[in-house]
């Protein structure tokens, strides 16, 4: 890919990013995103209502309980949690929200997108940082190309 889509370039300017949907066993896509962001030099905060630690890092039950500033949120949790997460992000003044999605609907829900519109937030809908940051593997590079051509990832 020649250049990052502007919305993704803006998101990747974030210093401290919360990732929702991480699991304690480390097998979910959110965990792979969490690890890639860490390896790419971001300060990453895991969010899971059922964990106090994920991959050796303190984990928080929701965005409200995360101490300090957050510059962005990557939502990779079940779609039913999206609207509440957007409201929490808006309460904190977070303007950068990325909804994970490759095939199917991923973490995208219409009510969450409605909350974004209500709060004047332009979210990234689709794809994930594995397609755009750090050392992008061939699979994710091809997937980004394919999904962009189908309008499922920003161009």
CATH number of domain containing 41: 3.40.50.720
Q: How many Å separate Cα 117 from the centre of its chain?
A: 18
Adjacent-strand bridge partners of 154: none
Tokens of residue 123, six digits:
């979210």
Give a yes or no: residue 35 inside a domain: yes
CA angle 14, 20, 25 (to 5 degrees): 120
Give a yes or no: residue 38 inside a domain: yes
Rounded to an integer, the average pLDDT of 61-68 is 97
Q: How many Å separate Cα 61 from the centre of its chain?
A: 16
Confidence band of 136 (pLDDT split at 50, 70, 90): confident
Q: How many domains does the chain have?
A: 1
Give a yes or no: residue 154 inside a domain: no
Residue 46, burial from CB neighbour count under 10 angstroms (0-12, 13-18, 19+): buried
Tokens of residue 94, six digits:
């977070």
Give the per-residue pLDDT at 2: 47
Cβ neighbour number for residue 6 with a 10 Å cutoff? 10
Give a yes or no: residue 1 inside a domain: no
**Would you say residue 22 has pLDDT above 70?**
yes
Give a yes or no: residue 155 inside a domain: no
Which domain covers residue 135, as residue numbers? 6-149
**Would you say residue 4 has pLDDT above 80?**
yes
Give a yes or no: residue 108 inside a domain: yes
Q: What is the DSSP letter of 95?
A: -
Mean pLDDT score across all residues of the chain: 92
Cβ neighbour number for residue 26 with a 10 Å cutoff? 13
Give the per-residue pLDDT at 153: 79
DSSP string, 104-133: S-TT--HHHHHHHHHTT---EESB-GGGTS
**Would you say residue 79 has pLDDT above 80?**
yes
Predicted TM-score (pTM) of this structure: 0.91
Give a yes or no: residue 121 inside a domain: yes
**Would you say residue 1 has pLDDT above 70?**
no
């Amino acid at each position: 890919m020649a250049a990052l889509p502007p919305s993704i370039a803006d998101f990747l300017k974030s210093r401290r990013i919360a990732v929702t949907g991480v699991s304690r066993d480390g097998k979910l896509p959110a965990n792979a995103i969490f690890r890639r962001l860490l390896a790419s030099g971001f300060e990453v905060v895991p969010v899971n209502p059922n964990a106090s630690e994920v991959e050796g890092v303190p984990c928080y039950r929701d965005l409200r309980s995360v101490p300090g500033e957050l510059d962005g949120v990557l939502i990779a949790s079940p779609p039913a949690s999206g609207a509440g997460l957007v409201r929490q992000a808006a309460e904190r003044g977070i303007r950068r929200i990325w909804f994970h999605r490759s095939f199917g609907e991923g973490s995208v829900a219409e009510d969450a997108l409605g909350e974004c519109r209500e709060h004047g937030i332009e979210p990234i809908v689709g794809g994930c940082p594995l397609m755009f940051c750090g050392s992008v593997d061939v699979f994710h590079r091809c997937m980004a190309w394919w999904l962009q051509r189908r309008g499922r990832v920003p161009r």
